[in-house]
Chain A
Amino acid sequence: MRRASALIALALILLTSNAFADGFGSLLDLGKKLVPVVPKAVQSVTEANKDMTPEQEYTLGRAFGAQLLQSHKVSNDEKANHYINVLGQALARFSDLPETYAGYHFQILESPEVNAFSAPGGLIFITTGLILMTHNEDELAAVLAHEIGHVAKRHGVEAIKKDRQTKAWVGIGADTASALGSDQMKQAASSLRDSVSDLTSTIIDKGYSRDTEYQADAAAVTVLTRAGYPTEALVDMIRSLNAIPEAGKGGLTKTHPAPDDRIAHLHSLVLGKTYTVSGVQAERYRVALAGLK
């Protein structure tokens, strides 16, 4: 029995030395600290290997953004760009993917076309045409939340053809990029170009599937609810897309399901309450966007 006591004492010493090694542990923490960790760690390693890493998604998103900017002019309106970044970044924290490799960043594009684009990793572009269709901050928040939804659901990554994914995810040849030879590097760059082409074809030309758009609307409802913005503003915004001016047509109208179908899908998620926009919101929305035309 004395031997058993000694062994228990040894176990306690081992446990406490580990707990104190991190400088913060205490015996009270031991119960919750020890039990679940080992199986969870093994599981997360396995899952991580299946997915694109945040860095890979970021590299892909930047390449898509650079391609998008070949045909879209950016707005240099600092006040407006800052405002959509504050609003967008405030919302993104409430999404299911709140932090990406380099964060969420928003940029206004100067175009009457009513449209918005989200790149994997969190670069989001919105046209002046779409911003000017919104009536208040709540509706603008709804638009940004929909785009954040596409990023959080990783719809861009899904748009890449399956046969390219092996190269994009797992890499070509060597274990470390520094060990890639010039031929392998060219192959990887070529794979990046092909993946951008898949994204361009889906996001800019054809649009996501209807189901994918409904998913982004549902994700937007989640983000708006958690952040405290009225989800009804999303319905109002979609409803106003029924009346897109002629100059704005071709963008969202071409790539998204009909507004009435989107509203029908949102029916069960949105309560349909009336909402009010605070005086502070109304004023900052007006001041920030006053220079856009």
Chain B
Amino acid sequence: MNYSFGMKKVMVLVLLLAAASVWAESAQVQIRQASVYDHPSVMAKFLGRLTLGDKVSVLSRKNGWVEVVSDEAHLKGWTREQGLTSAKVALRSGKNAQGASTTEVSLAGRGFSDPVESEYRQENPQLNYAVLDAMEKNTISDDELNAFLRDGGIHPEGDTQ
């Protein structure tokens, strides 16, 4: 087949567009919970949370924020770039410090991770991890944090209320 020069250009364009379409960026959540907002600001409307291992499609980026869609979490909105990774997040089975079987999502685990902590704790039974576990339960909702600031007459950047 003989294609004209113009025709070849069109074909190249078509192939490039098709390739870009197939390669739309995907990422996974690499922290336990990643907040999602309706626009890129912590003072924006809170929509929900993605959890560790959730897969998202990246729509756009702005100043450290990423607009994502997650079919699993039924969420579309803005989350922080740091909570996402393009590395693989995999399921990992193991035992927790008390010896019970657990299946948890984790980064395909190299280096320090939950199983390594379990080993460390077995070797150092005097260490008090219970206080740390209790500390981690103390998570305050975005709504309460925003109310705290506003009630105190504190006006964060990006606060439109």
Which residues of chain A have a CB within 8 Å of any CB of chain B?
3-4, 7-8, 10-11, 14-15, 18, 22-25, 29, 32-38, 40-41, 44-45, 48-49, 52-56, 59-60, 62-63, 65-67, 69-70, 74, 81-82, 85-87, 89-90, 93-94, 97-103, 105-107, 123, 137, 167-172, 175-178, 180, 185-186, 188-189, 191-193, 195, 225-229, 278, 280-281, 284
Contact = CB atoms under 8 A, between A and B. Distances in A.
Contact of B24 (A10, A34, A87, A176): A34
B17 A192 contact: no
Interface of B: 6-7, 10-11, 13-14, 17-18, 20-25, 30-35, 42, 57-61, 69, 71, 76, 80, 82-83, 85-87, 90, 92-94, 106-117, 119-120, 123-124, 126-129, 131-132, 135-136, 138-140, 142, 144-146, 148-149, 151-157, 159
Contacts of B33: 99, 103
Contacts of B146: 90
A281 B152 contact: yes
Contact of A86 (B11, B90, B148, B157): B148
- Describe B's contact surface by its main secondary structure: mixed
A99 B34 contact: yes
A226 B157 contact: yes
Contacts of B24: 18, 33-34, 37
Contacts of A105: 135-136, 138-139
Contacts, number: 254
A87 B148 contact: yes
Contact of B139 (A14, A24, A89): A89
A29 B58 CA distance: 12
B111 A101 contact: no
Nearest to B13: A11
30 contacts: A4-B10, A7-B11, A15-B18, A40-B25, A41-B58, A44-B86, A48-B85, A49-B87, A56-B111, A56-B113, A59-B117, A63-B117, A65-B135, A69-B128, A70-B128, A89-B139, A93-B42, A94-B42, A102-B31, A103-B33, A105-B135, A169-B111, A170-B111, A171-B109, A185-B119, A193-B124, A195-B112, A227-B157, A278-B153, A281-B152
A227 B41 CA distance: 12
Contacts of A176: 90, 92, 108-110
